[in-house]
Structure 1
């Protein structure tokens, strides 16, 4: 539409190859090697020494965040939403007025991104299982247990995806989510589902999903 060619970076080195390089150790909120290897390093390598303005979609109502800021002096961060005072409500309005609307996955996910993102909540994993079982199966196949140490590498802390989809566990997760949804709606009527998800992210303080994966 803009007459610009999109150049894909790192197309020949998929996630699974890096997973093998890391001996099956899945990325998590602390290491985030997927962000570094699949996003940041290819981007900075492509940019080289050219002067580049990196437009970061942090909104005015989340200006306390900074997102990805390169250590390379030739990559300059720009925050157009903050500069123009655009909030989440404005983003929603722009999407609706333009006819684009929200992607369908916002019916059950709080953000875009990889289908196996470790920042997903359990209720979102259940959503993936019910809507895209083939993707859930692929994510489940990446989990493993070290036969020597017994250490488990799972997407969800302390629980494998196979354990997550036991019928009684699904019922428990969905019931807990409905309780939280009820509490949220009592405190803030008609709260959007994406906002409920955002208030329920079970990460340690300071952990945030990849900026590129958030609206």
Structure 2
């Protein structure tokens, strides 16, 4: 069984990615969630309604032991199965001006986005290397490419993953593993629900927020065999706000 794992797959962009991979591929979809089991089960239901198979898998990407235990348990229970596609989507924001930023807000954002990338990817990459095939797609952000005031912690975490993407891509390319990053701008989701869309869309050349499905289309392409000559790239999807 060939599988695609999407971290933070229960809601928002992660959910849209799970559904799009279910629609476009034959991959068994592993929907990772941290706390919202109900949302993960709803995503699974929608994956199955699209005629594909999937399951939910619970772990906090920031907790190295939890990641190891959950993935080892799954691998032991699914002998012969291989995770060919990994979408590192889990992330959190704790916005605020840097001068007033508590250490907790810095560390929790770095731990989830950056250490989460390490914990999951490092655990799965050996299998991809021995299998001589893989697709790693890291969800970053316009914040990680251009920097966003009030998001120094988030920009730092996502910017680090941009650099990691470029380095790792060069290490594993000979084994037919591609590593790319997708950098969304303002996308309609839980994460942007509090923002003033009317005010912000004036800054966006296409004059609107993006949809999670538009991001998912790009991720689905990068997860496919069609993208085999694209690696080490950061692809911006932001309506022209920054490129």
TM-score normalized by the length of structure 1:
0.28
TM-score normalized by the length of structure 2:
0.26
Higher RCO structure (Cα 8 Å, ≥6 apart): 1
